[in-house]
């Protein structure tokens, strides 16, 4: 009976490569959207409302709160994550060049780091896809092993 439980758990492990695959697909879509915004988006001056940094021992994060002008004269608020080194160069600045897409999502990409931003999202997608492939191979191998040779704990006759 224990063998069936092991097979069930081994089959349920397929959820994790599936999640990594979905993450890779999501990052591919984000990469294409960011790249398109950088290539075809209109360059506008966004007002820097505030800069925030979080300095913790385990992670340092930074973000910029921007007010971006729209084509109709209205403004939208956006909070964009930034590299910590870039935030230091923005201190004291009241405006920033950004690319603004014309699509319904109204994506905003900071002009100074736009190319790096879409490339990094592409790299993240590639890493997720590579992890999906490796984890799929591992889950496949474990399922195959359990089907052919049974649960190692039961085969070895270990006490429960």
Task: Summarize pLDDT for 95-129 with one digit per residue, the tens.
Answer: 889 998 876 666 888 888 888 889 999 999 999 99
Mean per-residue pLDDT for 2-11? Answer: 77
| Between residues 76 and 83, the one the model is more confident about | 76
The SS3 of residue 17 is: helix
Query: Residue 129 burial (CB < 10 Å; 0-12/13-18/19+)?
Result: middle
Distance separating alpha carbons of residues 139 and 133, to the nearest angstrom: 10
Distance separating alpha carbons of residues 100 and 41, to the nearest angstrom: 5
CB 126 within 8 A of CB 25: no
Q: pLDDT grade, residue 90 (50/70/90)? A: confident
Strand order in the sheet with 60-69: 75-82, 60-69, 42-55, 95-100, 108-110
Distance separating alpha carbons of residues 124 and 29, to the nearest angstrom: 12
Mean per-residue pLDDT for 76-89? Answer: 82
Q: Which residues contact 91 (CB under 8 A, 6 or more apart)?
A: 51
CA nearest to 118, candidates 47, 8, 40: 40
Rounded to two decimals, the pTM is: 0.78
Distance separating alpha carbons of residues 77 and 68, to the nearest angstrom: 6
Q: pLDDT grade, residue 1 (50/70/90)? A: very low
Task: Summarize pLDDT for 30-75 with one digit per residue, the tens.
Answer: 999 999 999 998 899 999 888 888 877 777 788 889 999 887 888 8
Distance separating alpha carbons of residues 53 and 42, to the nearest angstrom: 28
Q: pLDDT grade, residue 134 (50/70/90)? A: very high
């Amino acid at each position: 009976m224990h063998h069936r439980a092991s097979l069930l758990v081994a089959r349920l492990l397929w959820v994790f490569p599936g999640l990594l695959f979905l993450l890779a697909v999501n990052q591919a879509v984000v990469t294409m959207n960011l790249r398109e915004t950088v290539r075809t988006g209109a360059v506008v001056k966004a007002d820097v409302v505030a800069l925030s940094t979080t300095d913790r021992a385990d992670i340092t994060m930074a973000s910029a709160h921007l007010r971006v002008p729209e084509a109709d004269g209205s403004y939208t608020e956006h909070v964009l994550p930034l590299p910590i080194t870039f935030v230091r160069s923005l201190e004291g600045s009241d405006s920033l060049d950004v690319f603004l897409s014309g699509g319904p999502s109204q994506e905003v990409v900071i002009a100074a780091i736009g190319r790096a931003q879409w490339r990094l999202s592409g790299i993240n997608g590639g890493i997720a896809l590579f992890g999906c492939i490796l984890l799929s191979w591992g889950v496949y191998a474990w399922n195959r092993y359990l089907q052919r040779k049974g649960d190692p704990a039961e085969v070895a006759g270990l006490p429960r």
